[in-house]
Amino acid sequence: MTRRAFLSSGAAIAASSMLSRALSAQAIAGDSVVSESKLAADPMRPQFHLLPARNWMNDPNGPIYLNGRYHMFFQYNPLAATWGDMSWNHAVSNDMLHWSHLPIALTPTPGTPDSFGCFSGSALQVDQRVYVIYTGTKESTSDLATIRDGKDNVQESQCLAWSDDPNLVIWTKDPQPVVPLPPEGIKITGFRDPSAWKQGEWYYLTVGAGIAKVGGCVLLYRSKDLKSWEYLHQLTSGSWNGIHTENPCDDGEMWECPELFALDGGHLLIYSTLGKVFWQSGVLDERTMKFSASKTGLLDLDAFYAPKTQLDAQGRRILWGWIQERRPEAAMREAGWSGMMSLPRVLNLDKDGTLRIQVLPQTAALRAGVVPHQESRSGTQKILRNASGEVICSGPRSKSFEFTLSTGSSELLHVRYFAESHTFVADGENIALEPNDEPTLHAFVDGSVIELIVSERIGYTKRFYYTGSTAPDIQAHTNESEVKMDAWKIAPISHNRLTTPARNG
């Protein structure tokens, strides 16, 4: 089930009415079917990625650095391990690696613009107050609906909430949406995922949208006070692929989770559509507030979607993404959990506008010892015990090589570097490198996920599943002795895989 798949209308409304703003993680724990002991013993639950104690999670929302701590909000279903009853869960960290769970921040309020769900959004600090602008959803009439899935008519509007609490635990919602309707005269295919920033004397807001049979687009608004918003124009747009699907995000007719930000002397736009996350680098004309792209690419090849960024304490641009499941709903319900947050990735632009991506260097603090070197008949091998560890592989530019991750009998990942074309091929996907790039691979394995960064140019996030009560050992192998491969054990960030609040490191 995707982030925009819906429950049947009757079930959704019944579940929403059960929720109250006083919901807490402690109260929810007693209502779930899967026991805490089963969750803690599940070998496929990650040990060093952020995820809630139980149930479904998806998009990162409003990550923000405040008073020396990192706050992460994310889409969350308090009642099940599948999509529904969208709320904002909340975690906090000192280092973006070790997390503590806090009470749920936002839940649907019956009879209000967010009665069907509190969808994705962003956070913005103004003096000592933090505002979040998010998409509220409610069942409505067909003429006002912005999501029409054949079962429900759901109206999306952009809503505002704020907190004066230094811990961001207590929130107040504005009872009325600040952007209640999309612009007039547009046959909209969606209207959600606002992202706000301050520029000069104005606040600006992007909203993901699309025009029927035309393509996805980003709508731009401005305001002086975060409450009264003026629509300006389409910041940028794309093209529909002409193949109609039930979900317009699957065919490019809708763009989700757009975000525009300044980066290394230029601007970067990210957005999600066609089941992937795209980036465009270019120039924002601050006079016309139009964005002109000069380069584009993918952020990740597979199970990574709906990302959000923030600035950290050092002013670096940090990217977070939702790591999706690749298993049936029945398996999610049986496990009692679904989804996780990616590791933090640092974004930069080269002088020519090409995106550079690396995992936060501070993740080295999670290393808990070197994995011993093992010679094999055809290269070098490292064994990552219990499907957990980190591998860095680097080869000479003049030599082609292969890198694999496997359980021995089952290959999980196969990457080849072709020296002649200076290109990687990861599970059949071509990745052309820039002329000055070094052929490097940086991989993390955690329970049932692989996060790979290829030559600091693109991510490849992949899920893998298995049977049994223990996680398999993973063999990392290169076929060339000239290729340098280092590997480390990774320390868990919680003694029981985050089923209770992690001790904040």
3-state SS of 475-496 is EEEECCCCCEEEEEEECCCCCC
Which whole number is the average pLDDT over 392-406?
Answer: 96
Output the pLDDT for position 2: 53
The answer on 208 and 232 residing in a single domain is yes
Which whole number is the average pLDDT over 456-460?
Answer: 98
Share of the chain above pLDDT 70, in %: 90
Residue 217: CATH number of its domain:
2.115.10.20
* Three-class secondary structure of residue 69 per DSSP: strand
Between 23 and 325, residue with greater pLDDT: 325
The answer on 388 and 306 residing in a single domain is no
For the segment 284-334, what is each residue's pLDDT rounded down to a tens digit?
999 999 999 999 999 999 999 999 999 999 999 999 999 999 999 999 999
Residue 245 forms part of a structural domain: yes
Which whole number is the average pLDDT over 35-63?
Answer: 95
For the segment 217-250, what is each residue's pLDDT rounded down to a tens digit?
999 999 999 999 999 999 999 999 999 998 999 9
The answer on 164 and 127 residing in a single domain is yes
The answer on 399 and 345 residing in a single domain is no
How many structural domains does the chain have? Answer: 2
Residue 2 forms part of a structural domain: no
For the segment 102-148, what is each residue's pLDDT rounded down to a tens digit?
999 999 999 999 999 999 999 999 999 999 999 999 999 988 999 87
Q: Which residue has the tokens 């089952």?
A: 410
Whole-angstrom Cα distance, residue 401 to residue 418? 7
The answer on 221 and 150 residing in a single domain is yes
What are the catalytic residues? Answer: 59
Output the pLDDT for position 408: 80
Residue 4 forms part of a structural domain: no
Output the pLDDT for position 21: 34
The answer on 409 and 349 residing in a single domain is no
**Number of neighbouring beta carbons within 10 Å of residue 10:** 10
Asked which of 312, 337, 358 is the last residue of a domain, the reply is: 358
Whole-angstrom Cα distance, residue 344 to residue 159? 27
Output the pLDDT for position 501: 56
The answer on 211 and 165 residing in a single domain is yes
The answer to whether the beta carbons of residues 466 and 472 sit under 8 Å apart is yes
Domain residues for the domain of 417 are 366-490
Which whole number is the average pLDDT over 157-166?
Answer: 98
Residue 470: CATH number of its domain:
2.60.120.560
Q: Is the pLDDT of residue 7 over 80?
A: no
Strand order in the sheet with 256-263: 256-263, 266-273, 276-285, 290-298
The answer on 300 and 326 residing in a single domain is yes
